[in-house]
Structure 1
Amino acid sequence: MPRRLFLPEGIANAYENRSAPLACGETMHGALAAVRLVAALDVQPAHRILEIGTGSGYITALLARLGTHVSSFDRYRGLVEPAGRRLRDIGITNISLFLEDGRDGFAGGAPFDRVIVHAAFPAVPRQFLDQLGSNAAMICALGPGDGPQELLRLRKVGSRFEREPLGTVHYQPLAFGTADAL
């Protein structure tokens, strides 16, 4: 998937491992970080995926190439609309994009095989865990919004969850509501 298609103009090296600025004050993961996130999800062809934080649409595109369907939410029209155009332009159709904050997950699309949240929580919200199917996995950041957080992969095994630390990150806390002007 050509990452350069999802970057703002003026970024010289599309595969540099640095975050890139996006519209609305958001950022795009560095190339290596994005690939590691997707690899950690271990998406299989039959998987249905929930993504919170569409951003540029790059990770959405990677997930859509690997799984059967991606439902992706973002609170910014200035991100959702351009991401949708980019994804359509490269022929990715197994996605649904939503202009919503995603804080409640997507009960109407559950159960999901994989969930990825590009934001931090002080604790894992129960609604996301409830929307996981059996043998599903979720990646999210846990910790304070103003400091480092622990990136975790949670695997649903029967009725319990196994936690696997994936490293330290600095994500913004999950914001509520859609942006009024962006």
Structure 2
Amino acid sequence: MAARLVEKEEFAALVLRLRAEGVSDLDLLTAVEQAPRSLFVPPQFAEQAYSSRTIPIECGSFLEGVDFAVRVLHQLRVKPGQRVLEVGTGSGFMTAVIARMAERVLTIDRYKTLTANAQKRFEALGIRNVIVRQADGSGGLQGEGTFDRILVTAAFESMPRFYADQLVSGGSMIAPLIISETECRLVRLTKTGSRFEREELFNSPYLPIVPRVASQL
């Protein structure tokens, strides 16, 4: 009971911080509340679940600070009935939030450990509209049709057009781009017919996209 109360208090503090930054979408904030952050962090970092710092997880990956994660999802603008592709499952936190708003989510990661752990968390939360797959996301994802939204959490050196081609008209994709050795920026591409509009959003922590499935992890 005490842990649940602490989580509610930390979520309330997060909402106040986000509203100060102009993030007040009730559907998004409700979806965040329905994906208890403490379930997605390693036990030793439970007290920092709602902090703005990045938290290390398995396979050398990390969990973005919660404020940053929600800002990204705010920019993704997921709507009911949409089909979403996420490249880089990680802990599954952002996946779980998206799943509360979208019709269906396909999430992929190169690490079997991460996909397996994320699947267990989705099952514990009763989330059934997510397909989790261990796959190489470095060269696109063929044979899965088109998506309304695509979120890439690993960084590319140039905008991955092979993913942009999997967007429906009017769809959008968010991905981090490596600008220099020390700077990475989140970018949104919106597809209109055969054209793409590019918008730079804000700086982002990142891990670079790595090809091939990791068979031993």
Fold shared, TM-score > 0.5 on shorter chain: yes
Tell me whether 1:20 sits opposite 2:36 in the alignment: no
Report 1:1-182 matches (<5 A): 1-11=35-45, 12-143=47-178, 146-182=181-217
Q: Is the contact made by 1:121 and 1:144 (CA closer than 8 Å) also made in structure 2?
A: no
Give the alignment's TM-score, normalised by structure 2. Answer: 0.80
Is there any run of 5+ residues in structure 1 with no aligned partner, and where? none
What is the CA distance between 1:91 and its match in structure 2? 0.4
Gaps of 5+ in 2: 1-34
Q: Name the CA distance, whole Å, in 1 between partners of 2:54 and 2:161.
A: 29
Query: CA contact under 8 A between 2:179 and 2:185: conserved in structure 1?
Result: no
How far is 1:144 from its partner?
5.0
Match of 2:155, SS state, is strand
Higher mean C-alpha displacement, 9-18 vs 48-57: 9-18
After superposition, the C-alpha distances for 1:65-119 in whole angstroms (9 at most, x for unaligned) are 1100110010111111010001011100101111112223333222100000011
User: How far apart, in 2, do the equivalents of 1:126 and 1:104 lie?
Assistant: 10
Aligned residues of 2:96 and 2:122 also touching (Cα < 8 A):
yes
How many aligned residue pairs are there?
182
Q: Distance in 1 between matches of 2:211 and 2:92?
A: 20
Which is greater in Rg?
2
- Structure with greater proportional strand content: 1
Which residue identity lines up with residue 174 of structure 2 in the other structure?
I
Write the distance in 1 (CA, Å) between the matches of 2:205 and 2:49: 21
If asked which structure has higher relative contact order (CA below 8 Å, sep 6+), I would say 1
Q: How far, CA to CA, are the matches of 1:72 and 1:13 in structure 2?
A: 25
Q: Conserved in 2, the CA contact under 8 Å of 1:70 and 1:96?
A: yes
After superposition, the C-alpha distances for 1:19-59 in whole angstroms (9 at most, x for unaligned) are 11100010011100110111100000111000000001000
Q: Distance in 1 between matches of 2:55 and 2:126?
A: 24
Root-mean-square deviation over aligned CA pairs: 1.3
